[in-house]
Amino acid sequence: MEALLLGVGLLLGAYVLVYYNLVKAPPCGCIGNLRGRTAVVTGANSGIGKMTALELARRGARVVLACRSRERGEAAAFDLRQESGNNEVIFMALDLASLASVRAFAAAFLSSEPRLDILIHNAGISSCGRTRETFNLLLRVNHIGPFLLTHLLLPRLKTCAPSRVVVVSSAAHRRGHLDFKHLDRPVVGWQQELRAYADSKLANVLFARELATQLAGTGVTCYAAHPGPVNSELFLRHVPGWLRPILRPLAWLVLRAPRGGAQTPLYCALQEGIEPLSGRYFANCHVEEVPPAARDDRAAHRLWEASKRLAGLGP
């Protein structure tokens, strides 16, 4: 019995050490007042995006929830207005898988919103699900759509400078490898999906790096942010139904809550004094070094040119 109790105690102690050192996110102690500023958060109807939007709303910002589902987006906007006490939270339709939808969102936003101070690319997918497209759906949603949206909104960001762009990436970028000859090849099967997801997260990091170079001196800065291991819809969305009851309690134990996952994106969006670090990759509210493939300036520029072509912005 004593041995059993000792074993349980050691397991609990190990869990506490792991949780507080590796899982629990440091709080974001950034700017407190955002009145008069406007932020766009993509994929803000749930998870990290919703918690990010909530904190921006609590600080007084006008927050645009850019989401694919009108029903879920409107419901999230209502929730956030109630919880934050800020009525300046609105929904606008955006489907990053559709370049036409990205252009329509940008046109609607620019015609109705005079300011854009913070643009947070939070939306993303980890699997194609049952969708079969003639293009790389993961790259389209996780990188090409955000790339096009940034390009279309840049004039407003420059007008409102100092302003910021935050690209939510992932530690999965470390496993990424960009095959520029087949960037837009359709993804089939779970093994290809795993590789394509990592590749899209590498594209996020390189995009932030090249965007910083392109925008040097404009007052617009940009950052790639890793939210950490988060218990969100992205984690369970494509898990088989029979496996979810098993994984849900495990995820609750070892993964961050969405509020914790929002801390590093918020830090990149709000923290004063990090402008010289534009283009860098952040994790746990600190700059983190990336592998050589993620700091390759030639690859970043090559990706920029390829992205312009895939987004319909160049030959």
CATH number of the domain residue 200 falls in: 3.40.50.720
Distances (CA, A) of 246 to 33, 230, 284: 42, 17, 28
Q: Is residue 18 part of a domain?
A: no
H or E element: which one contains 55? helix 47-58
Which residues, including other chains, have CB under 8 Å from residue 266's CB and lie 6 or more apart?
28, 30, 52, 55, 56
Q: In this predicted structure, what is the pLDDT of residue 167?
A: 98
Q: In this predicted structure, what is the pLDDT of residue 54?
A: 98
Residue type, 219: G
- Count: domains in the chain: 1
Q: In this predicted structure, what is the pLDDT of residue 133?
A: 74
The answer to whether 177 touches 199, Cβ cutoff 8 Å, is yes
By the 10 Å C-beta count (0-12 exposed, 13-18 middle, 19+ buried), 75 is classed as: middle
Q: Is residue 27 part of a domain?
A: no
Tell the residue number behind the tokens 């990592």, with chain if given.
198
Its pTM stands at 0.86
What is the C-alpha to C-alpha distance for residues 136 and 4, in angstroms, rounded to an integer? 51
With b for 16 or more beta-carbon neighbours within 10 A and e for fewer, the 284-305 pattern comes to ebeeeebeebbbbeebbeebbe
Q: Is residue 292 part of a domain?
A: yes
Which residues, including other chains, have CB under 8 Å from residue 143's CB and lie 6 or more apart?
200, 203, 204, 207, 307
SS3 221: strand
Q: In this predicted structure, what is the pLDDT of residue 32?
A: 75
Q: Is residue 245 part of a domain?
A: yes
SS3 123: coil
Domain that holds residue 82: 32-311
What is the C-alpha to C-alpha distance for residues 229 and 261, in angstroms, rounded to an integer? 7
SS3 117: coil
What is the C-alpha to C-alpha distance for residues 293 and 288, in angstroms, rounded to an integer? 14
Q: In this predicted structure, what is the pLDDT of residue 238?
A: 53
Q: To the nearest 10°, the Cα dihedral for 239, 245, 249, 251?
A: 0
H or E element: which one contains 303? helix 297-310
Q: Is residue 119 part of a domain?
A: yes
Residue type, 73: G
Q: In this predicted structure, what is the pLDDT of residue 18?
A: 43
By the 10 Å C-beta count (0-12 exposed, 13-18 middle, 19+ buried), 101 is classed as: middle
Q: In this predicted structure, what is the pLDDT of residue 170?
A: 92
Mean pLDDT by 10 residues, the chain (315 residues): 45 41 57 91 95 97 98 98 98 97 98 98 84 85 98 98 97 94 88 92 98 97 88 55 59 69 95 96 96 97 97 85
Q: Is residue 23 part of a domain?
A: no
Q: In this predicted structure, what is the pLDDT of residue 35?
A: 96
Catalytic residue IDs: 197
Q: Is residue 19 part of a domain?
A: no
Q: Is residue 221 part of a domain?
A: yes
